Amino acid sequence: MPTPSRGRDGTTVKADTASAGREQTRQRVIEAAIDLLTRGGRDAVTTRAVADAAGLQPPAIYRLFGDKDGLLDAVAEHGFAAFLATKHIDPEPRDPIEDLRAGWDVAIEFGLANPALFTLMYTDPTRTDSAAFRTGLEILMGRVKRLAAGGWLRVGEELAAQTIHATARGAVLTWLSLPEDRRDPALFTTLRESMVTAVTREEPAVRDEGPAGAARALRALLPEESPLSSAERHLLREWLNRLASDG
Q: Clarify whether residues 204 and 89 are in a common domain.
A: yes
- Please give the pLDDT value at position 63: 94
- Please give the pLDDT value at position 224: 58
Q: Clarify whether residues 57 and 94 are in a common domain.
A: no
Instruction: Classify residue 140: in a domain, yes or no.
Output: yes
Count how many Cα atoms sit within 13 Å of the Cα of residue 93 in the half-sphere of its side chain: 20
In terms of Cα–Cα distance, which of 93, 167, 174, 144 is closest to 246?
A: 144
Task: Give the Cβ contact number of residue 33 at 10 Å.
Answer: 28
3-class DSSP assignment, residue 178: coil
User: What is the residue range of 98's domain?
Assistant: 80-244
- The whole-model pTM stands at 0.76
- Please give the pLDDT value at position 1: 44
Q: Clarify whether residues 226 and 135 are in a common domain.
A: yes
Instruction: Classify residue 118: in a domain, yes or no.
Output: yes
Q: Clarify whether residues 239 and 149 are in a common domain.
A: yes
Q: Clarify whether residues 41 and 126 are in a common domain.
A: no
**What is the CATH classification number for the domain harbouring 26?**
1.10.10
Is the Cβ–Cβ distance between 157 and 144 less than 8 Å? yes
Instruction: Classify residue 9: in a domain, yes or no.
Output: no
The structural domain count of the chain equals: 2
Q: Clarify whether residues 97 and 213 are in a common domain.
A: yes
Q: Clarify whether residues 147 and 109 are in a common domain.
A: yes
Successive 10-residue mean pLDDT values, the chain, 247 residues: 48 64 91 96 94 95 93 95 90 90 96 96 83 92 91 92 96 97 97 97 65 64 64 68 63
**What is the CATH classification number for the domain harbouring 199?**
1.10.357
- CA–CA gap between residue 38 and residue 53 (Å, rounded): 13
Instruction: Classify residue 127: in a domain, yes or no.
Output: yes
- Please give the pLDDT value at position 111: 97
Q: Clarify whether residues 185 and 226 are in a common domain.
A: yes
Q: Clarify whether residues 191 and 90 are in a common domain.
A: yes
- CA–CA gap between residue 32 and residue 65 (Å, rounded): 14
Burial of 110 (0-12, 13-18, 19+ CB in 10 A): buried
- Please give the pLDDT value at position 4: 47
Instruction: Classify residue 116: in a domain, yes or no.
Output: yes
